[in-house]
Structure formats: structure tokens, C-alpha cells
Structure 1
Amino acid sequence: MDETLKIAFVYDVIYPWVKGGVEKRIYELAKRLARKHEVHVYGYKHWNGKNKLKRNDIVYHGTIKPERIYSSGRRAITPPLLHSIELVSLLKREHFDVIDCQAAPYFPCYASKVSDSTLVITWHEFWGDYWSNYLGKAGLVGKVLERGLFSLTDNHLAASLKTKKDLHNAGLRKDIIVIPNGVDFRRIQEIEPSSHQSDIIFVGRLIKEKNASLLLKALALIKEEIPDVKAVVIGDGPERQHLESLSFRLGLQKNVEFLGLLKRHKDVVAFMKASKVFAFPSLREGFGIVVVEANASGLPVVTVDYDMNASKELIIEGKNGFIARVDKRDFAEKILIALENRRRMKSVSRNIASKYDWDEIARELEKYYRWIL
């Protein structure tokens, strides 16, 4: 019988207090690994009371309580730095078989080196030169910190083939294993559709990189073909006010509804199941779990062909979705094609999504941990 492993996942934000893709991956994998192994998660202290708590057989360790995670629409720099300082003292106290640290925001990876545990760095994106676009001259610091992770360990995982290629192109010559993100496929099948029906749905944090404005501009063109077209936008963020104003300027008051952040994941899936096409014009994705969730819900996905958008790798053109140019007319055209063909694409989309079930991905990750040990 295989021996029990002691595993730590290190990041900054923690699910379910913060509901993003990386934190959801950690939660789903930790929950499954905890059935056989001792699993710990280190991150911000989102809760009140003691710094350490146990839920679903996972031991959570909280460091700092940040006043805000985002600043001017970007992740704030100070919280992860303070978080990493706390991590140094916490990780020194315990030995783990494996510490699986998420690459960004970089500081925690350096902090994890104080431990004598085997370090794995999981890459969801590699930014490289994009740091200059993101922060100008100050981006050089991010670029140096990011590249410095190459030498911290021999054990590197990538959440997508695109990220693996980016790392190789940047000069990381060590073995990089791809272990993708996933979905709870069976649970999604059990969720009933919402009574709130729509034609098009978008789900994501409302930040510039998600590019939801392209959807609104495309929707104005789709309205010329389908005057009563209905779209829903699920999510919140610094761009929400701008997007709501844009929808008014485009005359879409009766066509698009902003539902904000939904607390329960099953409600998001229920809204997907009550829609027809998932529109995802994001310009920057390390993977795109929500694309697989949409496919698992039976929706074809329309995304965009952009260099930093790894979610386009999940699309088999004409089978489970379409890839459009970053252009409102082409995006609108692909949505119209998806609407027309959604019935024949429904079962194919589900079949493709079934290959990304979290149970199988957790098994692959466990095999990887045992292999490096």
C-alpha cells in the first residue's frame, strides 16, 4: 500500500473566500488528495479566529489579513510580500514531503525555499516581456523575480501546454509536466438549469484583461440580427461601472443584464445551463477553467485568438466552440454561428469536457509527487 504523503499547497488567496481559477484548482485537488494524504493550504487569513483551521480534511494556515487584494485593478504588491515574510517562519516549523507553490506572485516561492521539503512550482502563466506592458519600467522587477524561479527547483508543473511552451522558449531547460485544471463533471451534470434564460453568457472577473467590452460591442452587432437577444454577465470587478456605462451607450439596456458575483458555484452553472453560448473574449488566461465548465454544461464557447489566451487551446474549432479574431465583427459572427449550431455541438462539448474531470487530474498529480520523491 502506498504511504501517506504530507503535502502543502502555497498561494496567496484561498477558495472559497476568493473564487478565482488558481484557488479553485488548489481546493479541488486538495479536497481529493486529503482523502488519502495529509494536506495543508497556506494563504491569506480570510477568516476570523485562530490562524489555523480544518475544513473538509484540509488544514488551512492563515498569514496576514489584507485590507485589499487589488489596487487600481491590479493585484496589490504589498500583501503577497508581507504574506511571504510570514510564510518563512511558518514553513520552517514543519516538514512536508511536497510543497506545491503556485508561481505567481513569486514571493511565496522564494519563501518556500526555507523548508527542507521537496519544492514543486506550478506555473499558470509565464509573463516574460509582458511585464513591461503591464508595469512599464517597473515591470523589470517582476520579470527578474519570475525568471529567478527557474533555479529554485528542478520540479516544474504547467497548467497548460501554452505555458509549458512559453517556459521552454524563455530558457527553462528542466522537465516541465503539464497537469491541467479541471471540473467536477458529474456534479455539473446534476445541477438543474436556472429559470433565468439567456442566449449568451459571460462569467469572469470584470478586469480589463477579461475584455468583456468586446462582447458588448459584438452584442450591439448581434442585436441588428436578433433584436431581442439576451445576454447575462456574471462577475464583479473594477471594470463593472465602465461596462455598464458602455452597455447604455450602445443601447443594450434591454439586452444585457449584469448579475454581479454569485456566491454559490452551482448558481453559476445553473445560469450556464439556461443559456445557449458562452462568450469568453479574455486576452490573458493561464488555462480557463470556466471554458471547460461551460462545455460541461453543454455550451459551445467562443473565445479569441490572442497570444496570452491559453483557453483557446481548449477549443476544437467547430466541435466545442470557435476562436475569433480580437475584432467585434468576427466575434459577433462566431457567436451567431455558435447560436445556430448549438444543438449539434451540445453533446460533443460535454464529451470533450468529461476528459478534464478533477478526480483523474488529482490521480495524475499524486503520481507526479510520488515520481519526484
Structure 2
Amino acid sequence: MAGREFIVLPPRRWHEEMTGLAAVVGRLSRWRDIPFSLRYTGVSVICAVLNNMLLILLTAAGLDTLTAVLVNFAPMVIIGFVLQTSIAFEGALTPNAFLRYCGVMASNQPLWFGSLFLLCDIVKLPVAVAGPAATVGIFFWNYVATHWAMMGRVGSWRICGGKSVRHSEPLPGDDGRPPSVSRASGIEPNLRMANVALNAPRRIAFVCDAVMPWHKGGRETMLLQLSRRLCRPDQEVHIYTMNWWNGPKVIERDGVFYHAICGGHPLYKGERRSTEQAIRFSFGVFGLVFEPFDALHVDHIPFFPLYSARMVAWLKGKRLTATWHEVWGRKYWLKYMSGPAGMIGYLTEALSFMLPDAIVSDSQLTTKRLRDLGVRCPVETHPLGVDVEGIAAVPPGELESDVIYVGRLLGHKGVALLVRSVAAMKTIRPDIRVLIVGDGPEKARIKQLVSDLDLASNVTLLGQVEDTDRVHALMKSSKLLVLPSTREGFGLVVLEAHAAGLPVVTLRHEDNAAQELIREGVNGFLAMPEPDDLARKIEHALQTREQLRPLADIERYDWDFVARRLDRFLRGEAA
């Protein structure tokens, strides 16, 4: 270093020099009319191209790769900082912002290699999946961290007239139209250029990896019921999912268009959701950048698609909304996936809270947890609905039972707890009949438990029933539904049982939102997650079932009302 002299500029002089350079860059093009997402993405692409070109030149000049990377760092940080500050963020050039930006850029390579290690060696994903996933992760890290570097904070931003504004700030324009709409014509400029007819129907895009009739569950039922009701002459509904039907990429069912954005892949690997499936589906979501839509709504499970949808929404200048069924948190993630994998899951969930512009939750429990965690975007609670008239029209089934369970056979669903409570009840009700409807990774274990406790004459495992009407018929030929789950985002099966005339016993547990649907002594009872207490509550419910009123509150849960609320929400109207 001998013979070289370094000059350290004072902060004021440093600011003047950098501001002058930014002014030159800013005059090169009329960038202020470009949406923020495109400005940020464009600057990132320019920096990536320049970075690679400079690396090639340095290595061609005889430098080894590591030296070339180190030498390349200084000019690229300065170029990136000036471009991002002057073009994308339109912020002030300060020494503190520059130092923060240097830290962000210096963290990229270690984070990328660390992500590859975790995804390949810990989560056991193939490199072909882990490599792109790590790259996408670094993109999001750069987006969030660059916001922090430039603005000194990270908030919830939305695209508005080419600028990034916080939700708490008033939106530009005083005539009620979005900033991107021309006041003279009332037509969005990009639609005017594309010569799109004014009477073209509004398009709602739902993103969900599991849909009926290929999958059964509460969220699948919710999407089916709401998508059908949102279809009308002036509005189309498009669902983007995996190719579960093994046919053409686009099919139509009951007026709803289903798009296969990637091949099908099993949702579960053993008892857990498949990480590979989630990543495959999230890559498919990027294809929506080529799809026309007016509203983009994503099911938050399994988190990764939210990240892809956020990028799509940024690039297309659209609002991103999401449905949130439950919040796991750090404690549950570390129980679900031990070690580093659990921490990755927890961080993935925690960061995903920042992505939507607005959230719909199924229950008060989920809404409270989202707000307690500091979610800054608007959160509305929309309880699910039930088809009361349709269930009422179904006749009772041929298979009678005292107790029925309907749902997947998963560990947290508590079916083993139900079987143990039946064993405890045999002393006072030896001929009790329990019907278990559903399938899942716990099936073999449940069968073995039934055999070990000598309950073959009391417990019947019916397996998966595809026909929804038959499920409701089996409910109507039973006396009581038991949902022994410790974790439910809503518990739609409780509403279906009530509509079928059945009282319900479920668990009193901090993660069970289904308990919100129970009025003890009116439409059911709550039990502690212990075999003896569950057995007592089941026996009490069977003895007093004639005095209970399962239909007491059912009129509050109407799918038509839920659909109207969601329609207003997707249009950005206040609840």
C-alpha cells in the first residue's frame, strides 16, 4: 500500500459529491413515471449485468476469482448505491445509508452459500431445486434489506403511481381513482395501449396448491364455495394450482377456470408437508406474470408461493392479498421440524407476514396472533360458511354410529386421543360405536392402537369418502361429532356437523380455533386434551343430546354472505 494516498472526505463534502453523481444519473432518463417495482428490478438487473461484466474483465486481466470478487466489490457497491438511491428509492444520499448498503451487499455471498448448505444438507433438497430457491431467497433479502439500508426502516409498502408509499400515508389523487388511472379517460394507461375493451370482465386470480375435488379439507371447501359464488357475467374466477387432473393445463368446472401452473406432486412426505412440493409450486407461481388479472389472492399455505406472488404483484403493479388460516410461531415450528430446519420454517413464516397488502383470517384467534406479532397490513376476520340447505336435503346414511370423526389422520388431529377415550368409556358404555372417516399418515398407527386396546368391535376406520353428500349422510346417521384436534385454523367440519344436527365435542386448547364455534351446553362441549376428560364430555353430550341445539347459531355462517364480504375485500373496500 506504500506510495498511495487516501483522502477521507468529510460527511458534508461526501454528500455533495455523491448527490452530484446521482443528479447526473437521474437526468439520463425519465424514470419517475415508472412504477417503483420496475425501477428497483431494473436497477438490480443492471447491477447484476455490470457485476458479471466486471468480474469477467478482471479475471481476463489475470486476477484469480477471489481477488476479482474483492476488487469488484467497491465499484459495484458505489454504482448500486447511487442507482438505487437516485432511481428506485428517490432518497437522500447519506453516509449512514451507504454503510448500511455496504453491509447488505457484503452479506449476499455468505447468505447464498449458507442457504445452499441448509437446503441441500439439512432439508435434503436436490441442488436443482435448492439453487434457484436460494437465489430467490437472496432476491427477497436484498429487497427487504435494501429498504432498510436506504430508508432506515422496513415497512409494508405498496405500489402507487410509481412511488413506494406506506399504508398509513394518504394515496395520491382526490377523485377516488387509483393513481394509475387517467382522470381524463378513466382508463388505465396500460389497458388503453393494449386496446382492451372497457366491458372486459374483471378477473380474480386465486393461488392455492390443493383444490377440490382432488383434495378434501376446510380450505379446499372454502375455495370451492367462494369461487363459485364470485362468478358472474362481469367477473371471472381463475384458480392457479398444480396439475392434479393430469389433463390439459386449463379446465373449466362450474364456471371456474382451473390453471395447472406446474405438475402435481404429493403434498405430504410422511407426516409433514413436503418442502419440495412447496418450492415446485412457488416456482410455478412466477408464471402468473404473463397472466391477466385484476386481483391476486393467495392461500398462505405453504408460505413459499407468497414470496413468488409478491414478486408477480410488484412487477404487474397489482395488490396482493392473502388468506391466513393459522399462525404457528417459533415454538410450534421447532416442535414440527427440529433443529435448523425448524428455524428455517419459522423465519419463512415470520418474513411472509410482510408480503401481503392485506390479509383475511378465518378466526379471531388467527387475527389476534397476527396483530400480536406486529403485522402492519390490514387484517380482517372472515369466518367460513356452510351450505345449510344443501346438508338439510341429504338423507341419513346407512351406517349408524354414536360418535363420528371426519378429517385427515394426522398427529395433531388427535384421533389416537379419541381412540383412548373410547377405551375409557367401555366400562360404562360397552357397545359404543365410533366411526372414523378419513385417511392420512397416522392410519397404520390408529389401526394398531385399535387392535392393542381391543376396540375392533367399537371403532370402524372407514377411510377416505370422496362424495361430500355421503359424508354429510354419515354425520346425520350419527349422534355426536368429536374433533379432538389441538390445532385448527377454523374447524369447518364443526359447522357441517351443526348443520347436520349434531352437537360437537372439541378440545380446549390454545391452538384450536374450532372452540370459537362452541357454546358450551348449547351446541356442544369443550374437553381437556386428556382421554378421561374427553370420555366424560362425550358421555355427557350423548346423555344430554336431546336438550342441545346444534343449529342455534348456524344462520351466522352463510356462504353467500362470506362471498360478498370477500368480494368487497378483493376490491379494496373497507369491511
Sort the TM-score into its range (normalised by shorter chain).
over 0.9
Aligned partner letter, 1:342: R
In structure 2, distance between residues paired with 1:182 and 1:222: 33
The match for 2:558 among 357, 360, 363 is 357
TM-score normalised by structure 1 residue count: 0.96
The one-character-per-residue Cα deviations of 1:126-164 (angstroms, maximum 9, x if unpaired) are 111111111122111111121222222331110111000
Q: Contact (CA 8 Å) 1:14, 1:23: kept in 2 or not?
A: yes
User: Is 1:70 paired with 2:271?
Assistant: no
The 5 A counterparts of 1:173-192 are 173-192=376-395
1:372 to partner: Cα distance: 4.1
Aligned partner letter, 1:12: D
Aligned partner letter, 1:57: G
Aligned partner letter, 1:39: V
Q: Contact (CA 8 Å) 1:51, 1:61: kept in 2 or not?
A: yes
Distance change >3 Å, CA 3–CA 156, structure 1 → 2: farther
In structure 1, distance between residues paired with 2:334 and 2:296: 30
In structure 1, distance between residues paired with 2:508 and 2:552: 23
Map of 2:333 onto structure 1: 131
2:552 alignment partner, SS class: helix
TM-score normalised by structure 2 residue count: 0.63
The match for 2:433 among 230, 252, 257 is 230
The match for 1:332 among 535, 549, 562 is 535
Aligned partner letter, 1:131: W
User: Is 1:40 paired with 2:238?
Assistant: yes
The one-character-per-residue Cα deviations of 1:39-90 (angstroms, maximum 9, x if unpaired) are 000111001221111111111011223342210211101112111112102x
- Higher helix content, 1 or 2: 2
User: Is 1:51 paired with 2:249?
Assistant: yes
Aligned length: 369
In structure 1, distance between residues paired with 2:254 and 2:286: 26
The match for 1:99 among 290, 296, 301 is 296
Q: Contact (CA 8 Å) 2:406, 2:438: kept in 1 or not?
A: yes
User: Is 1:7 paired with 2:204?
Assistant: yes
Distance change >3 Å, CA 371–CA 63, structure 1 → 2: closer
- In structure 2, the gaps of 5 or more residues are 1-198
Could you say what the CA RMSD is over the residues aligned between the two structures, in angstroms? 1.6
Aligned partner letter, 1:369: L
Share of identical aligned residues, percent? 39
1:294 alignment partner, SS class: helix
Q: Contact (CA 8 Å) 1:293, 1:353: kept in 2 or not?
A: no
- In structure 1, the gaps of 5 or more residues are none
1:355 to partner: Cα distance: 1.7
The one-character-per-residue Cα deviations of 1:192-239 (angstroms, maximum 9, x if unpaired) are 001211100001100101010111111112111111111100001111
Q: Contact (CA 8 Å) 2:523, 2:552: kept in 1 or not?
A: no
Map of 2:522 onto structure 1: 319
In structure 1, distance between residues paired with 2:200 and 2:485: 42
The 5 A counterparts of 1:71-90 are 71-89=269-287
1:83 alignment partner, SS class: helix
Q: Contact (CA 8 Å) 1:296, 1:354: kept in 2 or not?
A: no
In structure 2, distance between residues paired with 1:205 and 1:76: 16
Map of 2:175 onto structure 1: none
Map of 1:283 onto structure 2: 486
User: Which segments of structure 1 move beyond 4 Å, counting only runs of 4 or more?
Assistant: none
The 5 A counterparts of 1:234-249 are 234-249=437-452
Determine which structure has greater relative contact order: mean sequence separation of CA pairs < 8 Å that are 6+ residues apart, divided by chain length: 1
1:367 alignment partner, SS class: helix
Map of 2:35 onto structure 1: none
Q: Indicate the larger mover: 269-278 or 222-231.
A: 222-231
Q: Contact (CA 8 Å) 2:295, 2:571: kept in 1 or not?
A: no
Q: Contact (CA 8 Å) 1:188, 1:296: kept in 2 or not?
A: yes
Map of 2:227 onto structure 1: 30
The one-character-per-residue Cα deviations of 1:312-361 (angstroms, maximum 9, x if unpaired) are 1111111111110011111000001110111221xx21232232121111
1:96 alignment partner, SS class: coil
Structure number with greater Rg is 2
Q: Contact (CA 8 Å) 1:212, 1:243: kept in 2 or not?
A: yes
The one-character-per-residue Cα deviations of 1:84-128 (angstroms, maximum 9, x if unpaired) are 112102x11123221110112111111112132221011001111
The match for 1:149 among 331, 345, 352 is 352
The match for 2:259 among 57, 61, 65 is 61
Q: Contact (CA 8 Å) 1:8, 1:40: kept in 2 or not?
A: yes
In structure 2, distance between residues paired with 1:19 and 1:317: 28
